[in-house]
Amino acid sequence: MLRKRRHPQIDMRPAQPAQGYEHLAGESIAVLTWLQANQVEFVLVGPVAEAVRGGAGSAGPVAIVPAPYRRNYERLSRALDAANARPRQNGAEAARAKAGLDQAARGQRWQFRTGIHFLDVEGRSNETPGYQELLYEAGRFELAAGLSVDVASPEDIEHYAHVRRTGSSPELRITRGTKQQLEHSS
């Protein structure tokens, strides 16, 4: 008789962080361990990534940018299904979230909750760095025994934080003032 493959669940026991990462929430380490056990490839961005990099890092969900290929999205989707993850949005978006997870590649952000654990799957828009760009600049950190995670660079973490706050990428505009404007501002 064939057995159905069981996917790893989120461990509810408190995780033991590695030395130097005691400030990370046990729930965050549990989610990252669960993603790794389900063989999901990702780069960590968001508040948890900021905390790993040594920033103040406000409390918040584990935010990831998954590797943009179909098998990885399928593994993430199966893991979310197995953990009974529910979208945190309301309305029509919530109904489409898990079915359309591969649309994260089109710039949408999906926000999930499974029990006390939170996970944001950041999408790729033209204005945000994609998985490859993030991975190139990322650092690898061992947060717990057997848990190594790629964490985005501080600049990329700040970029995603700005996008989360404002809904658009930061932009720098340089304009040249006329002589009259420059004299007036002095």
Residue 150: alpha-carbon gap to chain centroid: 11
The residue among 177 and 122 whose pLDDT is bigger is 122
Strand partners of residue 17: 144
| Distance from C-alpha of 14 to C-alpha of 27, rounded to nearest angstrom | 8
| Distance from C-alpha of 44 to C-alpha of 127, rounded to nearest angstrom | 18
Average pLDDT over residues 154-175: 80
**pTM of the entire structure?**
0.78
Can you give the pLDDT at residue 171? 75
The answer, yes or no, to whether residue 168 has pLDDT greater than 80, is no
| Distance from C-alpha of 55 to C-alpha of 153, rounded to nearest angstrom | 12
Can you give the pLDDT at residue 44? 95
